Amino acid sequence: MGLRTGQQYVEGIKNRKHAKIYVMGKKVTDVTTNLFLKPSVESFKATFDAAFQEDTRDLARAYSPYIGEEVNRFVHIHQSPADLVAKVKLLRKLSHKTGTCFQRCVGWDALNTLYIVTHKIAAREGRAEYKERFMKYLEYVQRNDLALAGAMTDVKGVRTLRPSEQPNPDAYVRVVEQRDDGIVVRGAKANITGIAVVDEVIVLPTRAMTESDASYAVAFAVPLDTPGVTVVVGRQINDARRLEGGDLDGVPYMAHHEGLVIFEDVFVPWDRVFLYKDWRWTGPLVEIFASYHRQGYGGCKSGLGDVIIGATQGLARAIGIADKPAVAEKLAEMVFLNESMYSAGLAASWEGVKLLDDGGWWVNPMYANVTKHMVARFPYEVAKIAHDIAGGIVGTAPSEFDFKNEEIRHLIEKYLQGVPDIPTEERLRLVRLLENVSVSVGYLVESVHGAGSPAAQKIMFTRLYDFQKAEEIAKSLARVKVTVKWPKEPEPRRPSEAQKT
Ligand SMILES: Cc1cc2nc3c(=O)[nH]c(=O)nc-3n(C[C@H](O)[C@H](O)[C@H](O)COP(=O)(O)OP(=O)(O)OC[C@H]3O[C@@H](n4cnc5c(N)ncnc54)[C@H](O)[C@@H]3O)c2cc1C
**pLDDT value at position 38?**
97
C-alpha triplet 97, 101, 106: angle, nearest 5°:
125
Please state the separation of Cα 225 from the chain's center in Å: 22
pLDDT-flagged residues of the chain (< 70): 1, 482
pTM over 0.85: yes
- Residue 491 φ/ψ region, left for φ over 0, alpha for ψ in the -120 to 50 degree band, beta for the rest: beta
Asked if 249 and 241 touch (Cβ cutoff 8 Å), the reply is yes
109 lines ligand 1 (CB under 6 A): no
Q: Identify the pLDDT of residue 260.
A: 98
- Residue 293 bears catalytic tag: yes
Q: Is 161 close to ligand 1, i.e. is its CB under 6 Å away?
A: no
203 - beta bridge partners? 151, 220
| Residue 132 bears catalytic tag | no
- Category of 414 on φ-ψ map: left (φ > 0), alpha (ψ -120 to 50) or beta: alpha
- Closest approach atom of ligand 1 to CA 195: 8
Q: Which atom of ligand 1 is nearest to the CA of 103?
A: 8
- For ligand 1, whether the C-beta of 188 sits within 6 Å is no
Give 368-404 as a 3 state SS string. Answer: HHHHHHHHHHHHHHHHHHHHHHHCHHHHCCCCHHHHC
Q: Which atom of ligand 1 is nearest to the CA of 160?
A: 41
* Cβ–ligand 1 contact at 205 (below 6 Å): no
pLDDT at 401: 98
Q: What pLDDT, on the 0 to 100 scale, is given for residue 481?
A: 72
The residue contributing the CA closest to ligand 1 atom 33 is 453
Count of other CB atoms within 10 angstroms of residue 476? 14
| Catalytic residue (one of 76, 78, 257, 293) | 293
- Which residue among 105, 206, 257, 435 is the active-site one? 105
Residue nearest to atom 38 of ligand 1 (CA): 159
pLDDT at 154: 98
The single-letter code of the amino acid at 210 is: T
Separation CA 192–CA 387 (nearest Å):
29
Is the CB of 154 within 6 Å of ligand 1? no
How do residues 233-283 score in pLDDT, each as one tens digit? 999 999 999 999 999 999 999 999 999 999 999 999 999 999 999 999 999
Ligand 1 in contact with 455 (CB < 6 A)? yes
CA distance linking residue 357 with residue 123, whole number of Å: 9
- C-alpha 179/C-alpha 158 separation (Å) is 30
Please give the pLDDT value at position 248.
97
* Sign of the four-CA dihedral 191, 193, 196, 199: negative
Q: Using H for helix, E for strand and C for coil, what is the string for 278-290?
A: CHHHHHHHHHHHH
Any alpha helices (H) in 173-234, and if so which ranges?
none
Q: What number of H helices and E strands is found in the chain?
A: 16, 14
Residue 257 Cα to ligand 1 middle (Å)? 16
How far apart are the CA of 206 and the centre of ligand 1, in A? Answer: 10
Whether 193 sits among the annotated catalytic residues: the reply is yes
| Residue 254 parent element (H or E) | none
Give residue 265's pLDDT: 98
Report the pLDDT value the prediction gives residue 489, as an integer from 0 to 100: 86
- Residue type at position 272: R
Q: Tell how far CA 234 is from the center of its chain.
A: 16
| Dist. CA 239–CA 253, nearest whole Å | 10
Tell whether ligand 1 has an atom less than 6 A from the beta carbon of residue 296.
no
Q: Domain extents for the chain?
A: 285-462, 465-500
- Is there a catalytic annotation at residue 297? yes
**Confidence at residue 486, expressed as pLDDT on a 0 to 100 scale:** 80
CATH 1.20.120.530 fits 285-462, yes or no: no
Per-position b or e across 424-458, b if 16+ CB within 10 A of its CB: bbbbbbbbbbbbbbbbbbbbeebbeebbbeeebbe
